[in-house]
Amino acid sequence: MGEAEHPRKIARKARYVIAVTGASGSVYAARLISYLGTLDVETHVVVSSTGQTVMRLELGHGPEEFEGPDIFVHDPGDFTAPVASGSFEVDATVVVPCTMGTLGALAAGISGNLIHRVADVALKEGTSLIIVPRETPANRIHLRNMLTLAEAGAVIMPATPGFYHRPKTIADLVDAFVGRLLDRMGVANTLAKRWEGPEDLEP
């Protein structure tokens, strides 16, 4: 059957939703968004109100810095944004970093802002939802919420970069994690460090 018989299968660019909340680690989101901006893909960004505060504290800028012809920044209160609807097809949704507050809202199915909504949409549509929770230590409520979301189909991917590649800088650590995140999103990338045995290690 050709495309005409499958109207939902119209060719389009790969499309990703990156939701950023007010947990520490906005550098991961910024690196992910800037990397996606170098590819021929569409990137939709939503940063929560506290996410914007934390981003300014940690990076010295807010979401206005995310610029590119295929980068679309949505207001976290705008439920009329296309990404709020399950009819708007996306390939993967990532919440990075994810606060325990947002984690709780997602686990409870509460759609209080556009971030909660895009994650809820991913779960109901059965598309890829990757959550990067950030808090330490984790209490039982956090752990239960992660399990609830994993059981609902989300991938729980804490930002715990490995050290076996002998990272030299913070950028090395960030890239190694963002590379693995891109892997999980199904995006071919050169950021992830591929383990090829100890003989491959730099001295």
Ligand X SMILES: Cc1cc2nc3c(=O)[nH]c(=O)nc-3n(C[C@H](O)[C@H](O)[C@H](O)COP(=O)(O)O)c2cc1C
Q: Which stretch binds ligand X (CB under 6 A): 52-60, 88-96, 162-170, 187-195?
A: 52-60
> Counting contacts by CB under 6 A, is residue 26 touching ligand X?
no
> Counting contacts by CB under 6 A, is residue 21 touching ligand X?
yes
Residue whose token pair is 């050169």? 190
> Counting contacts by CB under 6 A, is residue 101 touching ligand X?
yes
> Counting contacts by CB under 6 A, is residue 111 touching ligand X?
no
Residues 200, 36: Cα–Cα separation, whole Å: 28
**In this complex, which beta carbon is closest to ligand X, that of residue 24 or of residue 34?**
24
Q: How many residues bind ligand X, per CB under 6 A?
A: 16
Token pair recorded at residue 42? 């569409």
Site for ligand X in 31-50 (CB under 6 A): 48, 50
Residue pair 32/18 in contact (Cβ under 8 Å)? The answer is yes
Residues 96, 103: Cα–Cα separation, whole Å: 11
Sign of CA dihedral 47, 53, 55, 59: positive
Residues 195, 192: Cα–Cα separation, whole Å: 9
> Counting contacts by CB under 6 A, is residue 63 touching ligand X?
no
**In this complex, which beta carbon is closest to ligand X, that of residue 92 or of residue 114?**
114
Torsion of CA 138, 106, 173, 161, to 10 degrees: 50
> Counting contacts by CB under 6 A, is residue 131 touching ligand X?
no
- Candidates 17, 18, 23, 173; binder of ligand X (CB under 6 A) is 23
Interface residues with ligand X (CB under 6 A) are 21-24, 48, 50-51, 53-54, 57, 99-102, 134-135
